[in-house]
Amino acid sequence: MNKKISLLSMMLLIASFCFAKTLETIPYQVEVGFIKTIHISFPSKVTYVDLGSNYIIAGKADGAENVLRVKAAVRGFSEQTNFSVICEDGSFWLFQANYREQPAQQYYEMKSMHSLLAKDRPTNIQDIKLSEINGESPVMLDLIMRSLYKENKREVKNIGQRNGRIEATIKGVYVHNDIIYFHLNLKNKSNVSYDIDYMKFYIADRKSFRKQASQELPLYVVREFNGSVPAKIIVDKQYHTIIAFNKFTISADKKMVVSIAEKNGGRHLNFDILLSDIINAKPIKKVIL
């Protein structure tokens, strides 16, 4: 059963939790060996790793951005060492490593920051704010995106395009702090599946003249959440995703362009989002857990 909670209550809960963790953070204990590698799985992409000494080595597992491989670089070291990890969701993890020839555990799975709402809260995790998302709490940003995805509600109409029985629409435009969220939906009404090759977002002139080159200013996505669903829309199915940008506005003579290309196909989609659509973004007051 879904539970709605006000954004203010959620912010206070996250703030109090993070303050408590700042006062007392208990490192996670792991054992590392020279001939065996341990793997640590995180709830989001690993973006930074710091090793406390040259006793250990670490690297991301091939093909898995959220899994870290760790092993001893020196056989039989006696002193305890440590390492820390920062993930894309803003979580900061602390570890202490001891040498053991045959590590008792070779796989560790870290709990999501969302478990702060549960009784079994992790004791070695802190929430940090990232400049790439205008100082917003990554935990709050992720909660909002998950909530919008789960609610899957249509708030706006008449923004989108159809091509070859493929329909792309913007279901909602939202804002919280300095982040703007777009809810994008794709529907396949054809008998041929549709694979998304790429999506591009940029600002362009509303009116372009043949003798005057139109300048395009790219917009960079800071986060996207699609429930880990493959970007393939099979016959008579839908795909939706939440896309987040740092706050921006455009002048009345400009437009935001959404461009979606089909992989190995020609059913490309291009449609505009205007200033009025952006400044009328709906404020987010509640999240669904």
Task: Decide: 99 and 73 in contact? Cβ < 8 Å.
Answer: no
Cα separations (Å) of 244 from 16, 18, 82, 154, 247? 26, 24, 34, 17, 9
Torsion of Cα atoms, 129 then 141 then 223 then 203, to 10°: -100
74 versus 128: the higher-pLDDT residue is 74
Sequence-distant (≥ 6) Cβ neighbours of residue 68 within 8 angstroms: 39, 40, 42, 46, 49, 58, 59, 60, 61, 85
Half-sphere exposure of 288 (CA within 13 A, CB side): 11
Among the CATH numbers 3.30.1380.20, 2.60.40.1150, 3.40.50.150, 3.50.30.30, which is that of 142-288? Answer: 2.60.40.1150
For β-strands 179-188 and 166-176, DSSP reports them as antiparallel
Task: Decide: 99 and 76 in contact? Cβ < 8 Å.
Answer: yes
**What would the two tokens of residue 271 be?**
């449609």
Length reported for the chain: 289
Query: What kind and span of H or E run contains 288?
Result: strand 286-288
DSSP 264: T
| DSSP bridge pairs for 160 | 169
Exposed / middle / buried, residue 283 (Cβ in 10 Å: 0-12, 13-18, 19+): exposed
Q: From CA 272, how far away is CA 217, in angstroms rounded? A: 14
**What are the structural domain ranges in the chain?**
4-128, 142-288
For β-strands 286-288 and 38-41, DSSP reports them as unpaired
Sequence-distant (≥ 6) Cβ neighbours of residue 214 within 8 angstroms: 204, 205, 208
Is the predicted pLDDT of residue 8 greater than 70, yes or no? no
Find the DSSP H helices in the chain.
Answer: 7-23, 138-151, 275-279
Average pLDDT, the chain: 85
| DSSP bridge pairs for 282 | 174
Q: From CA 31, how far away is CA 20, in angstroms rounded? A: 27
- Find where tokens 């802190």 sit: 126
117 versus 59: the higher-pLDDT residue is 59
Q: What is the pTM of this model?
A: 0.69
- Tell me if 4-128 shares its fold with 142-288: yes
CATH superfamily ID and name for 4-128: SARS coronavirus X4 (2.60.40.1550)
pLDDT 10s digits, 165-207: 999 999 999 999 899 999 999 999 999 999 999 999 999 998 8
Torsion of Cα atoms, 31 then 37 then 41 then 46, to 10°: 100
Q: What is the mean pLDDT of residues 233-240?
A: 89
Predicted pLDDT of residue 3: 65
| pLDDT tier, 121 (very low <50, low <70, confident <90, very high otherwise) | very low
Angle between helices 7-23 and 138-151 (to 10 degrees): 150
Half-sphere exposure of 253 (CA within 13 A, CB side): 5
pLDDT 10s digits, 246-260: 999 999 999 999 999
Q: From CA 131, how far away is CA 141, in angstroms rounded? A: 13
